[in-house]
Structure 1
Amino acid sequence: MISALNHLVDLVEEHLAEELDVGKVAAALGTTEYHLRRMFSSLAGMPLSEYVRRRRMTVAAADVVRGRGDLLGIAVRHGYGSSEAFGRAFRAVHGAGPGDVRRNGGPLRTQPQLRFRLTVEGSTPMDTRLVDRPAFRLTGHATRVPLIHQGVNPHIQEHIAALPPEEHLRLKALSDTEPKGLLQVTADLDPDSREGSELTYLHGVALSRDTSVPDGLDTIEVPPGMWAVFRTGGPHPQALQTTWAATATEWFPSNPWRLRSGPSVVAVLERADDFSTATCELWLPVEPA
């Protein structure tokens, strides 16, 4: 995966003024666009699309400052159909328009070319198991929320807090298959994992396919497939978020599995009364790499 990401970065650089067919690149590298984008955003700390925009504007800034043609010509050379579209992208990256930068020499914000390297980590083993599951349902109360990378997501908190205590008990009693108990389900996630992008959050339980769903509940149908299950414990949600990040930096690069499209599921096995600490299982849908 490290070599695949570096090859992707090289192709971005070679085709900086063009739209790169990431799906075609992924297929040539023996992986999927979904997995490649998820791994890139997890390891680079930004979506692939944002990295391309920053690199494109970094190279374009040199042309602007050195006066290599008029602004429309520079815009076209770097893949934009108009000076207005180019100016908006330029200002979004540098904080000033190309005309201002040409006159004043700045400000400029440079995005260096990325290079992924394998570092020796993982001195603490990850508690992981692989589970082959038949099709099942995730059932409960769903809502749309923005993605937040660090800390507690207040939109999810509000959604859960709005449910009466008896509803939590009713849901828990419905659970009849793995993952067991009340679940925190993330679905419809942007493959680039852009912070602020919308996703579906479901607070509910897992049901067997032949179990009827009570009225008034939302349902996500889950096809059969393999799951990597990571057990984590400690301060919540920090320990869970650290483990989630480590799946990208440590587990996937060193194991013959890749992410497949599907919901991510967190099962809370034990927790303190104030939820300051918790033992959880993180379920990620995977397939052979």
Structure 2
Amino acid sequence: MISALNQLVDHVERHLDEELDVARLAGALGTTEYHLRRMFSSLAGMPLSEYVRRRRMTVAAGPVVRGEGDLLGIAVRHGYGSTEAFGRAFRAVHGAGPADVRRDGGPLRTQPQLRFRLTVEGSTPMETRLVDRAALRLVGHATRVPLIHEGVNPHIQEHIASLPMEAHQRLKALSDAEPPGLLQVCDDLDPDSAEGTELTYLHGVALGPDTPAPDDLDAVEVPAGMWAVFRSSGPHPESLQTTWAATATDWFPSNPWRLRPGPSVVAVLDRAADFSTATCELWLPVEPA
């Protein structure tokens, strides 16, 4: 995976003035666009699209400052059809428009070319198991929320708090498949996993494929397949979020598996009364790499 990401970065650098065909490139690298985008954003800390824009504007800053031709010509050479579109992208990266930077010589914010490396630190091994699951149905109460990478997501908290106690008890009684108990389900994530993008959050339970789902509940149908199950224990949600991040930095680069499209599921196995600490399982859908 590390090699594929570096080849992706090299390809971006050679084709900064062209539209990036991530699906075709992922196929040539022996992986999928979904997995490549998810791993890039997790390890780089930004979506692939944002990295491409920053690199384009870093390179474009040179001819802008040096006064090499008109701004329309520079825009076209860097993949933009108009000075307006180029100006918006330029300002978003540098904090000032190209005309202002040409006049004043700045400000400029440089995005260096990325290089991915796998660092072995001898940290505690991740507690993981692989599960081959039949098709299942995740049912419960769903809402749309923004993605927040660190800390408590207040939108999810508000959604759960809005449900009456009877709704939680009803869901628990419905649960009849693994993962057991009340589940935190995230679906329809943006492939780049950009902070603030919307996802579907479902507070629910897992049902077997033959168990009927009540009509008044939302449902996510999940096809049969393999799952990687990661166990975390400690301060919540920090421990769970650290484990989630480590799947990208440690586990996927070191194992012959990749993410496949589908929801991520968190099962809370044990927790303190105030939820300050918890033992959880993070279920991620995977396929052989």
- The interval holding the TM-score normalised by the smaller chain is over 0.9
- Structure 1 residue runs of 5 or longer lacking an equivalent are none
| 1:122 CA drift (Å) | 4.7
Task: Give TM-score scaled by structure 2 length.
Answer: 0.99
Structure 2 counterpart of 1:4: 4
Task: Detail structure 1 runs of 4+ shifted over 6 Å in the superposition.
Answer: none
Inter-partner Cα distance in structure 2 for 1:218 and 1:27 = 34
Inter-partner Cα distance in structure 1 for 2:85 and 2:254 = 42
Q: Which amino acid aligns with 2:184?
A: Q
Structure 2 counterpart of 1:74: 74
SS in 2 for 1:81: coil
Q: CA RMSD in A?
A: 0.6
Once the two structures are superposed, the pairs formed by residues 199-218 of structure 1 within 5 Å of their partners are 199-218=199-218
Inter-partner Cα distance in structure 1 for 2:137 and 2:43 = 31
Inter-partner Cα distance in structure 2 for 1:103 and 1:231 = 56
Structure 1 counterpart of 2:272: 272
| 1:215 CA drift (Å) | 2.8
Structure 2 counterpart of 1:256: 256
Task: Say which is worse superposed, 117-126 or 151-160, in terms of deviation.
Answer: 117-126
SS in 1 for 2:258: strand
Task: Say which is worse superposed, 8-17 or 118-127, in terms of deviation.
Answer: 118-127
Structure 2 counterpart of 1:119: 119
Structure 2 counterpart of 1:65: 65
Asked if 1:223 corresponds to 2:223, the answer is yes
Task: Give TM-score scaled by structure 1 length.
Answer: 0.99
Deviation per CA, 1:39-93, whole angstroms, max 9, x where unpaired?
Answer: 0000000000000000000000111001111001100010000111100110011
Structure 2 counterpart of 1:287: 287
Structure 2 counterpart of 1:106: 106
Asked if the contact 1:232–1:243 (Cα under 8 Å) also holds between the matched residues in 2, the reply is yes
Inter-partner Cα distance in structure 1 for 2:112 and 2:69 = 24
| 1:173 CA drift (Å) | 1.0
Inter-partner Cα distance in structure 2 for 1:112 and 1:125 = 32
SS in 2 for 1:103: helix
Asked if 1:164 corresponds to 2:164, the answer is yes
SS in 2 for 1:62: helix
Aligned identity (percent) is 84
Q: Which amino acid aligns with 2:213?
A: V
Once the two structures are superposed, the pairs formed by residues 117-196 of structure 1 within 5 Å of their partners are 117-196=117-196
Inter-partner Cα distance in structure 2 for 1:213 and 1:120 = 46
| 1:166 CA drift (Å) | 1.6
Inter-partner Cα distance in structure 2 for 1:122 and 1:74 = 48
Deviation per CA, 1:11-43, whole angstroms, max 9, x where unpaired?
Answer: 000000101111111101110000000000000
Asked if 1:27 corresponds to 2:27, the answer is yes
Give the paired residue count: 289
Q: Which amino acid aligns with 1:232?
A: S
| 1:156 CA drift (Å) | 0.3
Inter-partner Cα distance in structure 2 for 1:140 and 1:94 = 44
Deviation per CA, 1:80-110, whole angstroms, max 9, x where unpaired?
Answer: 0011110011001111000000000000110
Inter-partner Cα distance in structure 1 for 2:156 and 2:62 = 44
Asked if the contact 1:121–1:250 (Cα under 8 Å) also holds between the matched residues in 2, the reply is no
Deviation per CA, 1:245-268, whole angstroms, max 9, x where unpaired?
Answer: 000000000000000000000000
| 1:181 CA drift (Å) | 0.3
Inter-partner Cα distance in structure 2 for 1:197 and 1:19 = 22
SS in 1 for 2:180: coil
SS in 2 for 1:227: strand
- Structure 2 residue runs of 5 or longer lacking an equivalent are none
| 1:123 CA drift (Å) | 2.0
SS in 1 for 2:191: coil
Inter-partner Cα distance in structure 2 for 1:288 and 1:68 = 49
